[in-house]
Amino acid sequence: MMYPPSGSGPGIHPPQPPPYAPWPQPPPARPPRRPWRIAVGLLLAGFGLLPLLGGGALIAKAYSNSRQTIHNPEYARQLWRNVPVETLFPPRLGREHPDKTYRDPNDERGWTRAAVSSGTSCRQALSGELARAAVKGGCVAALRATYLDDTGGTAATVALIAFRDNEYARQELQDVMSEADEKPDHVVRALAAPGTRWKDAARAGNGGWSIGNTPMYVAVTAGPADGRRAGRLPQPWGKRAHPQKEDREAWAHTAQGLAQSISTRVQAEARKVGP
Please report, in tens digits, the pLDDT of each residue of the chain (275 residues total).
Answer: 555 555 555 555 666 666 666 666 666 666 666 666 666 667 766 667 677 776 776 776 666 655 555 566 777 778 888 889 999 999 988 765 556 555 555 566 789 999 999 999 999 999 988 999 898 888 999 999 999 999 899 999 999 999 987 666 566 787 788 777 666 677 899 999 999 999 999 999 999 998 887 889 999 999 999 998 876 655 665 555 555 566 678 888 999 999 998 998 888 888 775 54
Q: In this predicted structure, what is the pLDDT of residue 118?
A: 92
Q: In this predicted structure, what is the pLDDT of residue 236?
A: 60
Complete DSSP assignment for the chain: ---PPTT-STT--PPPPPPPPPPPPPPPPPPPPPHHHHHHHHHHHHHHHHHHHHHHHHHHHHHHHHT-----HHHHHTHHHHS-HHHHS-SEEEE--TT--TTSPP--EEEEEEEE-S---HHHHB-HHHHHHHHHTTEEEEEEEEEEETTSSEEEEEEEEEES-HHHHHHHHHHHHHHHTTTT---B-----TT----GGG--EEEEEE-TTSSEEEEEEEEETT-PPTT-PPTTGGGSHHHHHHHHHHHHHHHHHHHHHHHHHHHHHHTSPP-
- Closest of 185, 252, 194 to residue 223, by C-alpha: 252
Q: In this predicted structure, what is the pLDDT of residue 93?
A: 87
Q: In this predicted structure, what is the pLDDT of residue 190?
A: 96
